[in-house]
A and B are shown apart, each in its own frame.
Chain A
Amino acid sequence: MRFFLTFVMIVCSTLSAEEIFVQAKGVVCSFCAQGITETVKKRPEVETVSVDIETGDVTIVTKKDQTLDDETIKSIIEDAGYEVASISRSLYPGLPPISQ
C-alpha cells in the first residue's frame, strides 16, 4: 500500500502543474496587479497568474512538467518593480502550499 501511494505521488508530481504562491511587497493598486500579471505571463513556463491586491498574494500556476525556481521568480517580480517577501509551493493545485 505504501509503495502504491508513493508511486502515485511521484507520478502526480512529475505530471502535474505547480502552483506557486508569492507574497509580493509594494502591491497597492490595479496598475501594480497589471504590471505583475503582464510580466509573469511572458514566461513560457506560466499557465496562469493572478494577483490579490488586498493581500499582495501572487498565485502562479505553471504548465505541466514546468517549474520556476525561487531566483527566477524573484527576478520576474523585481523586473515588474516589486519585491518578494516569501514563496511557497504546492505540487497539487488547490491543496495548501508547502512553505519554504
Chain B
Amino acid sequence: MWRYPVVLLFLLPVSLFSRPVSYADSWTLEQKNEAFGHILSLHYSPTSRYSLGLYAQSKPNLNKSWYLLTCNALLKRWNFSAAQANVFFLSGVGFSRNNARMGGAAGCGVSLDYETRRMLVSYENRAVYAQHVEKSVHHIARAGFSPYVAPFDALQPWFLFQYEKKRSKSVFTPLVRLYRNNVLVEFGISTKGNILLNWVVTF
C-alpha cells in the first residue's frame, strides 16, 4: 500500500521537507518549493512523539542535492484550551550529490511553534552539512492569522508572513495557507519574486 508514495518520492525531481511529527500510525507527505530550493519528505510517525522518514533537498538549479534518513522528535508539547505550543528536534543523516560527485550529509534543527485557532507564530532552523554541496544554517520565522475558524471538512484560509535567512541572504514572503481536511496548501511570492508553493498531506 505504501509502495506508491515511496515511488512518487523518488520520481519527483525535487527534494522533501517534513511536518516533523504527526499522530500515531500516520504518514505525512510534504513538498516545499521556495527561494532556497526544493524539499520533499515522507515520514511515518509510529507514535505522536517521533517520526522516521526520507528527506531530499535540492538547490534551485536541481544539480546539487542531499538525501537524508530522518528522525524527528516532539520534545515538548503544551496543550491549552484553545492553543498549542510545540518544540521539535529534527535530525537526519545521508548523502549528497553534486552532479557526479557524491559525499556524506547530515542535518539537524529545532522547530518551535505556538498556534491558536486564529493565530500562529513559529521559528525553525536547519543546520546542514552536505559534502560538496552545502554548509549552512537556515532560519525560518513565521507569523500569521486566519479570519475565521472552519469546520474539519471546510476550507480555512490563513494569511502568513515568512522571513528566511541563510548566510547573508534574507527573503520575506507573504503567503496564503489553505487548510481542508488532511490537506494543507501554501502559496506566495517573495519580495524578490521567488514563488513559494508548499503542500502537505497526512494519511
Contacts and interface: CB of A to CB of B under 8 A. Distances in A.
A79 B47 contact: yes
Interface stretch (A6-14, A24-32, A88-96): A24-32
Majority DSSP secondary structure for residues of A touching B: mixed
Contact of B180 (A28, A30, A52, A56): A30
A16 interface: no
Interface in B144-165: 149-152, 156
B122 interface: no
A48 interface: no
A38 interface: yes
Interface residues of A, number: 27
Given A51-B152, A53-B117, A80-B48, A25 B22 contact: no
Contacts of A80: 23-24, 48
B202 interface: yes
Interface in A29-83: 29-39, 42, 51-54, 56, 79-83
A85 interface: yes
Interface of B: 19, 22-26, 47-48, 74, 77-84, 115-117, 149-152, 156, 179-182, 184, 202
Closest 10 CB pairs of A and B: A26-B79, A35-B23, A81-B48, A25-B79, A26-B84, A83-B79, A33-B152, A54-B149, A34-B182, A28-B117
